[in-house]
Structure 1
């Protein structure tokens, strides 16, 4: 799973609906170029998570670095804020087990609820949750939610 946040968790991505949508589109294109599978994603106003499989993590991280540089330049230009630090840290977490995988899927899809942007997964536009629920079915998704709870997943690193 790759995660990146805006500097000081400022809601820079969320400056507009269009920016959120463009960020999601470009982020997924970058990830798709280096991942064999994208399992889940969520873009929030100040950070993102993408759960994926790749054998080319160094190349993906380099491409994400270019994405971050490109978007920072575009957004700072649009807001006349040249020099502002936009991104802080891009980290990857190795998925260590079947249970960790499903807890990660649940965590990514639950993130907009966790951060109180919406009350239900499918209410968030910039996420794979709606497609996930449509493909898997709400009954199976609920079963996986209970079988692989997120508990304190993200504690200490996924802050508001």
Structure 2
């Protein structure tokens, strides 16, 4: 059974990926040693485009995302025609592999380790889902990169505001995020 949002990981440096349940997952991935490999707008654009492309290719319905110089978060629903989320590790490798080769080629460091790990949480409660939507959309604000989430171009906040009823946007924004246990001690550049 996947780790529920109220359970700590068994060992935070090497999380167990138990993906036998279909549903909505909150995923965080970080770079090795929290290095800022995606530190400029062009690199952030490639990371975002890669995330959007690969989740679509794997049939995940992306519901929120935020990408930064040294980590990213996303929320996605598994395809309705599969029993679990076993394709999630394959999808993450399909994203991380090409991105690692690309950024290492730019930096002239072909063998450098770029990604450290990723953590996923199966969201089983509507309140947890809404809180993580708010968290993901406002992550750039949390990290001090913008004052208003929709102003950060590498996240879903502006898209969410355009595509969602204003009452729903306001409702999601009211969900508290302070008590969420999210692996997010990254400080983006």
Q: Common fold, TM-score beyond 0.5?
A: yes
Note the 1:47-86 alignment, pairs <5 A: 47-54=71-78, 55=82, 57-86=85-114
SS in 2 for 1:93: strand
Structure 1 runs (4+) greater than 4 angstroms displaced: none
2:3 counterpart of 1:17 = no
C-alpha separation in 1, matches of 2:66 and 2:177: 16
Q: Of Structure 1 and Structure 2, which has the larger fraction of its residues in helix? A: 1
TM-score, length-normalised on structure 1?
Answer: 0.89
Deviations 1:2-51 (A, max 9, x none): 2111112111122x211111111111111112234211111111111110
Higher mean Cα deviation, 53-62 or 63-72?
53-62
Q: Does 1:3 align with 2:42?
A: no
Are 1:31 and 1:60, in contact at CA under 8 Å, matched by a contact in 2?
no
The answer for the alignment partner of 1:112 in structure 2 is 140
Secondary structure at 1:68 match in 2? helix
Q: Describe the shift of the 1:73–1:36 C-alpha distance in structure 2 as closer, same or farther (beyond 3 A).
A: closer
Runs of at least 5 residues in structure 2 that lack an aligned partner in the other structure: 1-25
Please report how far the alpha carbon of residue 139 of structure 1 lies from its aligned counterpart in structure 2 after TM superposition: 4.9
**For structure 1, which runs of at least 5 residues remain unmatched after alignment?**
none
When the two chains are superposed, the root-mean-square deviation of aligned CA atoms in Å is 1.7
Question: TM-score, normalised to structure 2's length?
Answer: 0.76
- The aligned counterpart of 2:53 is 29
